[in-house]
Amino acid sequence: MHSLFRRAKAPAAASPPAPMPMLSFPGKKALRFEGDTSAAERDADLAVLMHARAHVVLASESARASAAEAAAALRAYLRVIYASNMLAGPSQQKLCFAWRDDAGDESDRKKAKAKAAVGVGQGQSQSQRHTSLVTEWAVALVALAAELARAAAAEDRRGAGGIRRACGALCDAAGALRAAAGARTTDACIAAFERLMLVQALECYFELAVAGGKPAALCSKIAQQVSHDYHEVFINLGSLEQQPIDKSWAPHAQAKAAYFQAEANLQRARALREQGPGSVGEAVARLRLAVSVLDAAAGKTGPLGKKLSSSSSSTAAALAPVRDAAARLRKEVEAELAAAENDNCHVYFERVPAADALKELPALPEPLVRPTAVEKVLREADGEAALANGGAPTIRH
């Protein structure tokens, strides 16, 4: 049953606001082989591997290489390693693989040295050298995951197509990270990044559900799951004290957890108002709770508070889009709350329960997003060159 009061239509916006940004992590850049490689060049299998890796190095050295081009070169290289029979053999000792931490985009390079890098292998140094093909497999997978996350963050998610592409890239990045962790002992940093990729993919799923006009009850469950997962990511990132994680990441995850908790209550309130008598009182309580959650996030000790953001200009800049989105959501909740209270005062006269009397909102009964299997992650994407003789897509100069 719908409300007896006609709601005024909101004025049409000139263009939809940009969605909240996705986090992507700097990965690894491949360096040229060190030392004498003449012995390896005489090995047919290693020659194919060296040829494929040369394209990865070319993408690393090219300032104009896009995330898609770098990912294509890494996929081709990883397919060579995946199909290789040398993983447990001594022949790879003929090569010394070298990588360095990626400093991010040009603006990041100007600001400071890289603040974040996924550690695979020997510590968190700026460069890494090894002769193990198993380690090379893990490092290359992390590098691929970073490029996929970068591509997802660059997608324009104001349309359904961009949302789907971002969601797919994030699931692929999570699959690459899971495979990298499985190739070695469990790495807490890689596991935390995998969880971050998955919750961001679920956030895309929520955006698709809202854009597609899915029922408010379903949108509420998805938002509640996103909030729960972001809270876990916040805890996981906070436990990585020895890792060079960007300082804005933890408050970013904490702020999004609060944002989607408010969003879950807003969507639940809309579903309750559609039910009519017997549900309007709870709807009002849910909306009041959503306001209090957003207020707490913007308070002095909240992730969007002025005290936290003023401590670092980079943190403030990173959190600005989330703060703007929270402000827009608060206006939306306030409008819905005013309408719900008006309906209840004039028509339903239902008791409004206290916030602590409300039950926890239900989340999803099963995951909607999962890490992509590594075999699918490494599959040639549409438009990629074939792998014949270690071939890889051409990098633009």
197-235 exposure pattern, b = at least 16 Cβ within 10 A, e = fewer: bbbbbbbbbbbbbeeeeeebeebbbbbbbbbbbbbebbe
Provide the pLDDT for residue 244: 57
User: The pTM is what?
Assistant: 0.88
Provide the pLDDT for residue 388: 39
Locus of tokens 């005489």: 42
Provide the pLDDT for residue 137: 94
Phi, psi of 101 (to 5 degrees): -70, 140
Which distant-in-sequence residues (6+ apart) come within 8 Å of 89 by Cβ?
none
Q: Find the Cα–Cα–Cα–Cα dihedral 29, 30, 35, 40, rounded to 10°.
A: 170
Q: What is the DSSP string of 6-65?
A: PPPPPPPPSSPPPPPPPP----EEEEPPPS--HHHHTSHHHHHHHHHHHHHHHHHH-TT-
Distance of alpha carbon 98 from the chain centroid? 27
Q: Which amino acid makes up residue 274?
A: E
368 neighbors 222 (Cβ within 8 angstroms)? yes
Provide the pLDDT for residue 113: 44
Identify the segments of the chain with pLDDT beneath 50.
1, 3-8, 10-13, 106-125, 386-397
Nearest to 189 by CA among 116, 293, 130, 247: 116
Provide the pLDDT for residue 84: 80
pLDDT digits (tens, 9 = 90+) for 44-61: 888 999 999 999 999 999
Cα(154)–Cα(147) distance, rounded to whole angstroms? 11
Dihedral angle sign, alpha carbons of residues 369, 373, 376, 377: positive
Q: Find the Cα–Cα–Cα–Cα dihedral 273, 275, 277, 281, rounded to 10°.
A: -40
Structure tokens at 328: 């827009």
Cα(317)–Cα(49) distance, rounded to whole angstroms? 42
Cα(328)–Cα(332) distance, rounded to whole angstroms? 6
Provide the pLDDT for residue 274: 97
Provide the pLDDT for residue 382: 62
- Hey, is 120 helix, strand or coil? coil
Cα(254)–Cα(124) distance, rounded to whole angstroms? 26
Query: Which ranges in 91-239 belong to alpha helices (H)?
Result: 106-111, 133-154, 160-182, 188-211, 216-238
Provide the pLDDT for residue 34: 83
Cα(160)–Cα(173) distance, rounded to whole angstroms? 20
Provide the pLDDT for residue 306: 73
Pairing status of strand 97-101 against strand 28-31: antiparallel
